[in-house]
Amino acid sequence: MIVVTGGAGFIGSNIVAALEDRGDCEIVVCDLFEDSEKQLNISKRNLAHFFDANQLFKFLDGHQGQIEAIVHMAAISSTTTTDVDLILDSNVRLPLQLWQWCTRYNTRFIYASSAATYGDGTQGFVDDESLAALSKLKPMNLYGWSKHYFDRLVLQMIADGDAHPSQWAGLKFFNVYGPNEEHKGPQKSVVSHIFPTARSGDTVSLFKSHHPDYPDGGQMRDFIWVGDCADVVLWLLKNPNVSGLFNCGTGKARTFSDLADAVFSALKKNPKISYRPTPENIRDRYQYYTEADVSRLREAGYTKAFTSLEDGVEQYVCTYLNTNDPYR
């Protein structure tokens, strides 16, 4: 039995689908439905159990010895949230309780960290899990800080020789795109945001650059297909000897113009792109470049190639967004 918290969310529901495709375990989903659309993310899944977050530890305690791993994807992921207490409860205290439960009952624990922990990128994007390296990172928002805080708690416990789960892994997800993100609203990927405009044949609007080293639309991100994220999680579940903090990106930064071109190409349309000023309230904190260093993941034994931007966007557009059923 594998428990996926946040299993009706974006990355979580894709992990659940990948586990179902693998077909060798009972799948349990824990989540909350803020809106009805989120339910569609798991409407096709064959689940052994489903319950809300308030029943999580009651369920866990009632199934001791049956649970192989907890894949913890639940979090408040909005980068604009300002409620510190809420963020601490959801993104620090809850995963810490799960860590302790997994330690007590010899259960494996995989959790979602974030590339937001790297802040403005001046310290690079290397998943160095030393306490000294982690202390230099300065996230730019409350969400990134909460993920970074939990990473540091984990690595401090490991450094202190405290008891820990038999396997643990934190995944620093970069810019993930793919099906089942409709419920995220403003936090959806750029692919999802610009798709309706591109399909209608209208002009897609991207942010202008306010940095002399980057042209308009030349701002760069490490865009990763959500199926690749699920593959990394399944690989970790197959390799219980692998633990650590790992970047989950492709290792290749691409521009927003590349992304928009890929959407138009998937629709077999000529690109139409205009540029608008980056809003002043985020202009000073805007990142112009992110690229995951995936060498630690490769050294740990993960050999599967990551999906190219063009192939991932084409799959997303043609298999999901441009159909009557956009849900995986």
* pLDDT tens digits, one per residue of 226-254: 999 999 999 999 999 999 999 999 999 99
Domains defined for the chain, CATH in brackets:
2-177+222-252+288-306 (3.40.50.720)
* pLDDT tens digits, one per residue of 198-219: 999 999 999 999 999 999 999 9
Rounded Cα distance, 151 and 169, in Å: 10
Q: Helix axis angle, 190-199 relative to 256-266, nearest 10°?
A: 50
Q: Give the helix ranges, DSSP H, for the chain.
A: 10-22, 56-62, 84-88, 94-104, 131-135, 142-159, 190-199, 226-238, 256-266, 280-283, 295-299, 309-316
Q: Helix axis angle, 10-22 relative to 226-238, nearest 10°?
A: 50
pLDDT of 195 higher than 90: yes
Q: Tell me, what's the pLDDT at 36?
A: 64
Judged by DSSP in three states, 72 sits in strand
| Residues 154/99, Cβ–Cβ less than 8 Å | yes
* pLDDT tens digits, one per residue of 137-170: 999 999 999 999 999 999 999 999 999 999 999 9
- CB burial readout 213-250, b (16+ within 10 A) else e: ebebbbbbbbbbbbbbbbbbbbbbbeeeebbbbbbbbb
Would residue 143 show up in a list of annotated catalytic residues for this protein?
yes
Q: Which of 184, 188, 252, 272 is catalytic?
A: 184
Q: In this structure, what DSSP letter does residue 278 have?
A: P
Q: Which of 38, 111, 118, 143 is catalytic?
A: 143
Q: Which H, E and C letters describe 132-167, residue by residue? A: HHHHCCCCCCHHHHHHHHHHHHHHHHHHCCCCCCCC
Would residue 118 show up in a list of annotated catalytic residues for this protein?
no
pLDDT of 129 higher than 80: yes
* pLDDT tens digits, one per residue of 304-323: 999 999 999 999 999 999 99
In Å, how far are 96, 269, 286 from 154, measured between CA atoms? 8, 48, 29
Rounded Cα distance, 20 and 229, in Å: 15
In Å, how far are 53, 218, 243 from 246, measured between CA atoms? 26, 27, 9
